[in-house]
Amino acid sequence: MNFRAVRAIYKFEMSRTFRTLLQSVVSPVVSTSLYFVVFGSAIGSRITQVEGVSYGTFIVPGLVMLSVLTQSITNASFGIYFPKFVGTIYEILSAPVSYVEIVLGYVGAAATKSIIVGLIILATAGLFVPLHIHHPIWMLIFLILTSVTFSLFGFIIGIWADGFEKLQMIPLLIITPLTFLGGSFYSISMLPSGWQTVALFNPVVYLISGFRWSFYEIADVSVAVSIGMTLGFLAICMGIVWWIFKTGYRLKN
């Protein structure tokens, strides 16, 4: 393992974050704070509690997950797409660096940025409502697993995209709606029985449910199922990345 190469890619991607601190960190934190204020005030005045937890407190894990999912995909997709766009990807591919080391560098940096943003948002939410994390270790496990999984997914999108429009298409048209419909601002048990069944086909439900359980010990689905679904999606993304580098899909032409 060439750790020097991994560290070089990782440090380059992280330095880009610090150069664009306003866009990379401040913007998602402010946006999520506005979500929290608007939804917490507007809906919280009508729904005081959800499963014994005040509504403002209940939506915190969903808001954190909303930002982590979005930031993971955006950071990883842009991180690998930009070298393709300017042509520097060929220098990386011709260097004595394995595909595993390339993925570790880019995905590791994207996941790190997402985790930092998620923790900052969590700390910001603590200024609005009292937070009680019953299982902090499991909270970190879900946060890291989600960040790594969706950074891999973003890496795949960045390789697949051949324009900035495609780079934004999947996050805007698929991931964001799935997150809003995945129980970020409500419990699945509040839906009619038919829609509860439909909601279970949304993979984001399992991520938010497991993450919320680590806070309040309440979940829409089993914690074991949440972990299993996350690990399953992680395995699928790893398989697709392996296939991309094995075939050179949109990398060698």
Domains of the chain by residue range: 3-247
Alpha carbons within 13 A on the beta-carbon side of 189: 7
Q: Report how far residue 20's alpha carbon sits from residue 142's, in angstroms, rounded to the nearest whole number.
A: 27
Task: Please give the structure tokens belonging to residue 153.
Answer: 């997914």
State residue 89's pLDDT score. 82
- Judge whether residue 91 has pLDDT over 90: no
Mean pLDDT of 74-101: 86
| C-beta separation of 171 from 252 below 8 A | no
Residue 154: band (very low, low, confident or very high) from pLDDT cuts 50, 70, 90: very high
Mean pLDDT of 163-183: 83
- Judge whether residue 48 has pLDDT over 90: no
Mean pLDDT of 169-191: 83
- Judge whether residue 166 has pLDDT over 90: no
Higher pLDDT, 30 or 62: 62
Residue 40: band (very low, low, confident or very high) from pLDDT cuts 50, 70, 90: low
State residue 184's pLDDT score. 81
Please report how the helices 60-86 and 99-125 are oriented relative to each other, as an axis angle in degrees rounded to 10.
150
Q: Report how far residue 237's alpha carbon sits from residue 231's, in angstroms, rounded to the nearest whole number.
A: 10
State residue 42's pLDDT score. 67
Residue 238: band (very low, low, confident or very high) from pLDDT cuts 50, 70, 90: very high
- Judge whether residue 212 has pLDDT over 80: yes
Q: What is the DSSP annotation of 43-55? A: TTTT--EETTEEH
**Chain centroid to CA 22: how far?**
19
- Judge whether residue 59 has pLDDT over 90: no
Higher pLDDT, 241 or 177: 241
Q: Report how far residue 71's alpha carbon sits from residue 114's, in angstroms, rounded to the nearest whole number.
A: 6
Least confident stretch, 49-53, 135-139, 149-153, 229-233: 49-53
Q: Considering the entire predicted model, what is its pTM?
A: 0.89
Q: Report how far residue 217's alpha carbon sits from residue 126's, in angstroms, rounded to the nearest whole number.
A: 18
- Please give the share of the chain, as a percent, with pLDDT higher than 90: 33
Instruction: Find residue 53's DSSP bridge partners.
Output: 50
Which amino acid is located at 138 in the chain? W
Q: Contacts for 120-127 with beta carbons within 8 Å, 24 or more apart?
A: 120/25, 120/29, 121/28, 121/29, 121/32, 121/33, 121/63, 121/64, 121/67, 122/60, 122/64, 124/29, 124/32, 124/33, 125/36, 125/60, 125/63, 125/64
Average pLDDT in the chain? 86
> Residues near 182 by Cβ (< 8 Å), separated by ≥ 6?
62, 199, 202, 203, 204, 205, 207, 208
State residue 43's pLDDT score. 67
Mean pLDDT of 65-89: 88
Main-chain phi, psi angles of 49, to 5 degrees = -140, 150
- Judge whether residue 24 has pLDDT over 90: no
State residue 210's pLDDT score. 92
